[in-house]
Each structure stands twice: as C-alpha cells, then as structure tokens.
Amino acid sequence: MLIPSIFGDNFVDNFFDDVFRTPVTPQRTVQVMKTDIKDQGDHYQLEVELPGYKKEDLSVELHEGNLTIRATRESATEEKDEEKNYLRRERHSGSCQRTFYVGKKLQQENIKAAYNDGVLVLTVPKESAIPDPEKKYISIEG
C-alpha cells in the first residue's frame, strides 16, 4: 500500500510518538452555573450548582426585575525550598454570573435563598405586589 509522501515512511509511528512526547497543558475551563428550575405551583425553585464556593463568595441581587447570581473565588498556592526560594507560586481568581428575568413586580423580601453542599436554592414567587427600582441584595442562609 502506498502512503502519500507528505506523511513520510512511518506516519502512524511518528504520530503516536509525538502525541505521547508532547507535554499536556491544562485546558482553560469555562465556569457555568448549572441551574435546574422547578415549577412548584405558586413559586419557582432554582437550584444552582456552585461546588467549591463558600457562602461568602456568593451574591444574589434583584434589580429592575432581573435576578443576578454572582460567584467569585480567589486562591493562592505557594511552595518554597529550605532557602525560601520559590519553586512554585500560583494564584488564581475567577468569577461567574448568571441573570434571570423574574418580573418587575417582584420584591427582594419575597425571594428566599439558601446555600448547602455546593447548591444554591432560590425560591422565587410567581406574583408579587409593587416594583422596587433600587438594587437590593438577597441574604443567603446556610
């Protein structure tokens, strides 16, 4: 069987040798808030997966009918040898956010939030009284 000349004589052998010799670099992952929304009759229940975050890293805001969930995280790793020279020093920070339109009549006090085991659970009523034009933050229990 003839192999095209651009591949050389040992295309398959060279291909697999190169794959295993090439250093692997970690891929940058995109942080996405996986959310399940359940209709519970008189309200909606949002379950937002945020593994690895602490309650202090989260913020939930209601402004002009938009419910915005933000998560921010920072971490640092530092290793030194006996002479306190850096062998490795890494820092990471990241944030993600997601917004849901819940209606302009919704009031901040009507929304309940709890965070347990990496899952933020928001209870959002279907109907409410008067719109509130100011930004309001919702406290997270847990």
Task: Express each pLDDT in 101-130 by its tens digit.
Answer: 998 888 888 899 999 999 999 999 986 444
Q: Model-level pTM? A: 0.62
What pLDDT sits at residue 91? 80
What pLDDT sits at residue 124? 93
* DSSP per-residue letters across 32-79: --EEEEEE-SSEEEEEEE-TT--GGGEEEEEETTEEEEEEEEEEEEEE
Q: Which domains, and CATH codes, for the chain? A: 30-138 (2.60.40.790)
Q: Tokens representing 104? A: 């302009």
Residue 7 scores a pLDDT above 60? no
Give backbone dihedrals phi and psi of 62, rounded to 5 degrees, phi first. -115, 125
Pick 17 or 71 by higher pLDDT: 71
Mean pLDDT value across residues 81-101: 81
Q: Give 89's contacts (C-beta < 8 A, 6+ positions apart).
A: 77, 78, 79
Q: Tokens representing 41? A: 């009759």
Q: Is 23 helix (H, G, I), strand (E, B) or coil?
A: coil
